[in-house]
Amino acid sequence: MQDARDLIDQTVLVKLASAEGLAFTGVPRDGAFFCKVTAVDEVGMWVENRRFATVEIRDGRGRYVPKRRQKVERHEVDLLIPWRIVHTVVRFRKEEAAKAAANVLGDEPAPGRCIGFVK
């Protein structure tokens, strides 16, 4: 590995020094999590989250939508994790990544599937 750009398109295990402000994105408060890196820059690393959830609480006219009629929508997004809060990044060799994920997640990931965030 030459530099952080080698992490692009890799599934890595990330441990943050602080997850403050990221709870709404699905990043766990404590512990490490697996994610797929989509890009890196001088600010941080962009990671994929295929299960980002939003709930519309106002309709098109600005009126409140009752809780029983609110629907959760799932989105595939890229999330910026600033380098200043990244404590550790673990990159497994390709042949070992699926086995490592299975040990952490407790099951085998489907081939070609992004592991995503682990709570």
| Cα–Cα distance, 40 to 91 (Å, whole number) | 14
Report the candidate in 52, 2, 4 with the shortest Cα–Cα distance to residue 25. Answer: 52
> Does residue 56 fall inside a structural domain?
no
* Structure tokens that stand for 82 in this block: 């600033």
> Does residue 60 fall inside a structural domain?
no
User: For position 105, what pLDDT does the model report?
Assistant: 55
> Does residue 58 fall inside a structural domain?
no
> Does residue 54 fall inside a structural domain?
no
Task: Specify the DSSP class assigned to residue 9.
Answer: T
Count the domains in the chain: 1
Range of the domain at 20: 4-49+77-105
Q: What is the CATH number of the domain that holds 22?
A: 2.30.30
> Does residue 38 fall inside a structural domain?
yes
pLDDT tens figures, 9-52: 888 889 999 888 887 887 887 778 888 899 999 999 999 988 88
> Does residue 61 fall inside a structural domain?
no
> Does residue 59 fall inside a structural domain?
no
> Does residue 118 fall inside a structural domain?
no
pLDDT tens figures, 91-115: 887 777 667 766 665 555 445 444 4
Say if residues 38 and 49 touch (Cβ distance below 8 Å). no
pLDDT tens figures, 42-96: 999 999 988 888 888 998 899 999 999 998 888 889 999 999 999 999 888 777 7
Report the candidate in 42, 47, 43 with the shortest Cα–Cα distance to residue 7. Answer: 47
